[in-house]
Structure 1
Amino acid sequence: MCGLVAMLTSGATAGDYTDAMSSALPCMRHRGPDAAGTWHDDDALFGFNRLAIIDLEHSHQPLRWGPEDNPERYALVFNGEIYNFIELREELQAAGLTFHTEGDSETIVVGFHHWGAEVVQHLRGMFAFAIWDTETRSMFVARDQFGIKPLFYATTEAGTVFASEKKSILEMADAIGLDLSLDRRAIEHYVDLQYTPEPETLHSAIRRVESGCTVTLSPGGEVVSERYFTPNFQVTSVPKGGEQELFDRIAAALEDSVAKHMRADVTVGSFLSGGIDSSAIATLAKRHNPNLLTFTTGFEREGYSEVDVAAETAEAIGVEHIVKIVSPEEYAAAVPKIIWYLDDPVADPSLVPLYFVAETARKHVKVVLSGEGADELFGGYTIYKEPLSLAPFDKVPSALLKGLNTLSRVLPEGMKGKSLLERGTQPMESRYYGNARNFNFEQLQRVIPWAKPEWDHREVTAPIYAESARLGMDPVARMQHLDLFTWMRGDILVKADKINMANSLELRVPFLDKEVFEVAQTIPADLKIANNTTKYALRKALEQIVPPHVLHRKKLGFPVPMRHWLAGDELFGWAQEQINASQTDDIFNKAAVLEMLDEHRAGVSDHSRRLWTVIAFMIWHGIFIEKRIDPQVEQRDYPVQL
């Protein structure tokens, strides 16, 4: 888990940009405080910040490797972890290839020499990397299957720059002649969805390499992207009486994944929220570390914490448990710093408690495991039960459906049955947009009057739905497919990477493992949402693993009392100050935003998530565009090993 910068020049000498590189690396030192390194030849320039996890004394980057006849043919920078590196090393050594370190990084470049671009199909882990081939004068870039590790890029007349964080590219903007204008289409997508969907960023000239994609380029050439992984939830069924075999396969795959994810030369801990996902990971992790430490966070307000349940789970599985309680004052004070770390805002209030629990964990461990990805792979969101609840509408004639849909729109807000009628009379592509949308178009135009209907969420979701239809997925699988490409990439994995790396803490996610996915993709819909529950097959697989009290708990996550705080003295005045001070009048109708805040306080409507979306952007704008807000980030150094 580190931070990389890779530049391929176009008509200039790479050495001319070493000063720019010296500015790009320090701003993400939090990603790798243990060591830094640079390397360049005439065309390529690499920079690296290292968080040492495996092979602490060696495996420094940029890493050089080559065959006997050209021992420094390749240069590599790599962010992430390859969990099957031991098995790959043995396979490559059997093919006659040599290694000079004990780390996982070298496996990538040796594998690239042996398999070429197909190396990504062999890697089991999280990764973003760039390899420069000094013989072919070409660069190969790749990002992991699910998008766990980030990778931004920008192309100008000077060349193309890749980086783990957007702010590193911004630091090089003057040197490479980068246009820093904002992307209004991406802004509308952000306000609509609470995150900026891949491959966009809020800057027009900076984009992201998408999850499951590779990039090839040569000096002065175009960036050519190719998708190597498309998650495909297969249309399948389980023979009657064969369910237990499936449950056993799930348990075995997850146990193997956790075992591989525990590979490290430093201390590994685990987050523990009290839900089934993190409880399963922590329970399995303890088998490999009897002294496992677990961590959770919460709030003093009743109903907004899993602290008690997490503590009960920790006691049941026999681990030492550490808790961090976050106050409203701490919450507000940390927001600018957290948004700076994010690069682009993500309007998820749970980012803040996650920051504090990561900060707490980093005082004790260098790596933590977490349960991200279980909901998307195993059918964990309550909304996934909707295809069953709406099934009766499938039998209604289309003409009658159209009439019922018209009726639903004129029924009063809050009337019983209105929502069911609205959703049941629309096709999935119209009614399901993922987990995050909180503005309808009328509300969107209220706060950004320039919003265009052709830029709404459907521009993001339509191609994904088309792909799931082409692959013949069932309705539940289509929702999962959409979430893998939207909510998970835009929210879940952004905060997993950025917020933990802000604290120089490596987060590992055993559910998002390609071997686990190979089993998860075969689960039929009726075993995902059976018995009026979610993740049914996963729950059955974990019956002999997790404590009984968490098996059928309602999903809670990291709830934040934002609705109460914005309406009360905790954050109402703070929110007013942020809105009034923001220099975003060309983007937002600030009078309308202030009206929404007053309506929220008066209890007219719950605008908390909508307000938080706008305020998070305003703070981002104050930091990166206006330069008005000082995020007060301190770059901290840690010892190599705890």
Structure 2
Amino acid sequence: MCGIVGFVDKTILNKKPVITEMMDMIKHRGPNSSGEYVNDEVALGFRRLSIIDLKGGDQPILNEDKTKAIIFNGEIYNFQPIRADLIAAGHKFTTHADTEVLLHGYEEYGIEGLLKKVRGMFAFTIWDDVKKELVGARDFFGIKPLYYYHQDGTFLFGSEIKSFLKNPKFKKELNKEALRPFLTFQYSALAETFFKNVYQIPEGHYFTLKDDQLTIKKYWDMDFKENHLSFEKTVDAIDASIKDSVETHRISDVEVGSLLSSGVDSSYITALLRPEHTFSIGFDDKKYHEGIAAKALADRLGLKNKNDVVTSQEAFKNFPLIQYYLDEPDSNPSVVPLYFLTKLASKEVTVILSGEGADELFAGYANYGWHSHSKAIRIFAQGLKRLPRGVRASIAHGLKRVPNFHGRLHLYEATAPAEEFFIGEARIFNEDEAGQILKPAYRSSESVEQIVEKSYKKVRHYDDEVKKMQYLDIHQFMAKDILLKADKMSMANSMELRVPFLDKEVAKVAQGIPTKYLLNSEGSKYALREASNRHLPKEWAQREKLGFPVPVSAWLHDKPIYEEIRALFSEDFVTEFFDRPAILKMVDDYYHNRGHNDDRRKIWTVYTFLVWYRVYFIDQEKPEFIPDVHKVAAQA
């Protein structure tokens, strides 16, 4: 695990100091060592967090005749059998690292052939000095990030955007079109990031750069096609694939621990891994303390559990640092506990397993159609789903027009086309609301409908609306929010976070499961819960999904925090983006009229952007970590 940076540019003659400064910006991703490859055309930089082949895995790694060089971020879990095949084919290895398998695999199989063979999480680039060509790829789901900037004969790439700030050819500029969709989605939703002309290589894609021409191609995607297995055999297949994935993901030359929440996903992974160390986090508001339930499970499994409490002052004062590490604003409140949880775990282990991806692959979100606790309504909704598409749509349109009643939303989402109501797992401001608080220069962007249509048009032939929603979330919410925050928050604390649910062998099983086995009258993520039942206490597998519960409402009603947010909303630079009286009214009304509205997520989203903007465009320096002195004193 590490961070990679690089650039292709014939006009920067002294590349060494530039690549060194770029590497230093992501030292947190790899504090153990660094390395670079530099010639007249390209500079490759690498920061290493030692996980496999601790003595011999430094990068960049060159092939036998020194004509190709690779830098790599991630893990290839099946590198050992591929390595054996490559040795049999005549390749000479100088290390025992998975990185070198990618390099020789590229020589032997080509980029597409290599990507068909590997299993893991990765972002890598290879410079071919004979072809004068740069080739690279990002893993199947986008677990590891890979950004690029391509302007005026310069191509920059790296694990984090902040490394680009040290390249003299990079022009730092705010992408004005990113703000309006952010207010709806809570994350950077466009292909272009919040930095103008900076993009990500999409998940499941590889790129080639030759003669300053960039080509990006897809090599993998989820393809939901229901199989005909029985429910029992489906549960068997899920359990077998996840057990195999966890076993594969434990490969390491350093100790592996796991993150443990009160939910089924991380609990399932932990029960299979049985690590020496588990870690949990909570808040000083007892309603939001997952650590208590997690500790109870760890005790029942006979595992050690280390947990901590994040105070409101600790969370709030370090929010600018969190946004710095994220590169782009992300108002998902779970970034806060995830940062502190990985900070806690980093004191004991270097590698942690976590439960991201289970909800997208196994239909765990309530918004897929789980809005009623009435069993009768849920059973009735299941029956409606079996009707022809046109009949379902007519029923849905009728439900939109009738007065509200209990179960109406559940029945509507069971019958309506996904394109009509589902934009992903977050909807903070609707588009009209966003337009009302934004200044005119920031109202122009792709519409929400245009953004999600890019995914929906790829699955328009699906007759299953839940599968459409899963596909959208895999390419929007999961790739651009869930996985980016998992990578950035863990690497902020120099930790490798692995996600066993997001394994291509698990995906082969998940994409064939009939929706009726996942989302039905018994619950959401039903087949996965039944598989986890084989390893967890019965009541644990049925626990309601909470995500990372965060006391945003309590923070906004805390007078010192309210006053600090209000002070930020009152600053002069805010008027560049927002109608200042409108956002001040929003925060004032929420503070003074407790319970009269629920604008907490809207306030938090505006606040997140302003904090991020101040860090990157006003202060322009890394914030310092600020401990809660009262907590430190209490722990002393």
TM-score by length of 1: 0.91
Q: Which residue of 1 aligns with 2:631?
A: none
Does 2:609 match 1:621? no
Q: Which residue of 1 aligns with 2:144?
A: 149
TM-aligned CA distance change 1:582 to 1:98, over 3 Å: farther
Distance in 2, Cα, partners of 1:420 & 1:526: 15
SS in structure 2 opposite 1:368?
A: strand
Q: Which residue of 2 aligns with 1:48?
A: 46
Distance in 2, Cα, partners of 1:372 & 1:459: 27
TM-aligned CA distance change 1:424 to 1:555, over 3 Å: closer
Does 2:158 match 1:166? no
Conserved 8 A contact 1:235-1:473: no
Distance in 1, Cα, partners of 2:606 & 2:72: 35
Does 2:8 match 1:2? no
Q: Which amino acid aligns with 1:121?
A: K
Q: Which amino acid aligns with 1:167?
A: K
Q: Which runs of 5+ in 2 are unaligned?
A: 372-377, 627-636
Q: Which residue of 2 aligns with 1:322?
A: 306
Distance in 2, Cα, partners of 1:103 & 1:234: 36
Q: Which runs of 5+ in 1 are unaligned?
A: 635-642
Q: Which residue of 2 aligns with 1:21?
A: 19
Q: Which amino acid aligns with 1:359?
A: K
Of residues 450, 454, 470 in structure 2, which corresponds to 1:459? 450
Distance in 2, Cα, partners of 1:166 & 1:628: 14
Does 2:600 match 1:608? yes
TM-aligned CA distance change 1:197 to 1:532, over 3 Å: same
SS in structure 2 opposite 1:81?
A: strand
Q: Which residue of 2 aligns with 1:517?
A: 507
Distance in 1, Cα, partners of 2:138 & 2:333: 27
Deviation at 1:630, TM superposition (A): 5.5
Conserved 8 A contact 1:97-1:110: yes
Provide the aligned C-alpha RMSD in A: 2.3
Deviation at 1:427, TM superposition (A): 3.4
Deviation at 1:531, TM superposition (A): 3.7
Distance in 2, Cα, partners of 1:396 & 1:38: 62
Conserved 8 A contact 1:154-1:206: yes
Task: Kindly provide the CA deviation profile for residues 460-510 of structure 1, in whole angstroms up to 9, marking residues without a partner as x.
Answer: 10010111114x352111110010011101211011000010000110001
Does 2:280 match 1:296? yes
TM-aligned CA distance change 1:567 to 1:115, over 3 Å: same
Task: Kindly provide the CA deviation profile for residues 63-89 of structure 1, in whole angstroms up to 9, marking residues without a partner as x.
Answer: 1113xxxx2121001001111111211
What aligned pairs does 1:73-472 form with structure 2 within 5 A after superposition? 73-118=67-112, 119-172=114-167, 175-176=168-169, 178-197=170-189, 199-218=191-210, 220-238=211-229, 242-286=230-274, 289=275, 292-385=276-369, 389=381, 391=384, 405=400, 407=401, 427-450=417-440, 452=443, 455-470=446-461, 472=462
Distance in 1, Cα, partners of 2:301 & 2:485: 27
Q: Which residue of 1 aligns with 2:569?
A: 579
Conserved 8 A contact 1:143-1:151: yes
What aligned pairs does 1:61-72 form with structure 2 within 5 A after superposition? 61-66=59-64, 71-72=65-66
TM-aligned CA distance change 1:582 to 1:299, over 3 Å: farther
Task: Kindly provide the CA deviation profile for residues 380-424 of structure 1, in whole angstroms up to 9, marking residues without a partner as x.
Answer: 11222359749379676978865764x46xx7xx88677568767
Task: Kindly provide the CA deviation profile for residues 74-125 of structure 1, in whole angstroms up to 9, marking residues without a partner as x.
Answer: 1001001111111211222222322111111111101101110121121111
TM-aligned CA distance change 1:43 to 1:565, over 3 Å: same
Conserved 8 A contact 1:180-1:205: no
Task: Kindly provide the CA deviation profile for residues 137-178 of structure 1, in whole angstroms up to 9, marking residues without a partner as x.
Answer: 111110000000001110122420101100001221xx21x3
TM-aligned CA distance change 1:489 to 1:300, over 3 Å: same
Conserved 8 A contact 1:305-1:558: no
Percentage of pairs with the same residue: 36
Conserved 8 A contact 1:297-1:325: yes
Distance in 1, Cα, partners of 2:45 & 2:393: 59
TM-aligned CA distance change 1:162 to 1:311, over 3 Å: same
Conserved 8 A contact 2:272-2:535: yes
What aligned pairs does 1:454-533 form with structure 2 within 5 A after superposition? 455-470=446-461, 472=462, 474-533=464-523
TM-aligned CA distance change 1:299 to 1:73, over 3 Å: same
Distance in 2, Cα, partners of 1:397 & 1:270: 43
Count of aligned pairs? 611
Distance in 2, Cα, partners of 1:418 & 1:245: 34
Q: Which amino acid aligns with 1:6?
A: G
Distance in 2, Cα, partners of 1:324 & 1:192: 32
Task: Kindly provide the CA deviation profile for residues 544-575 of structure 1, in whole angstroms up to 9, marking residues without a partner as x.
Answer: 21232311010112101101221232621221
Distance in 1, Cα, partners of 2:517 & 2:409: 26
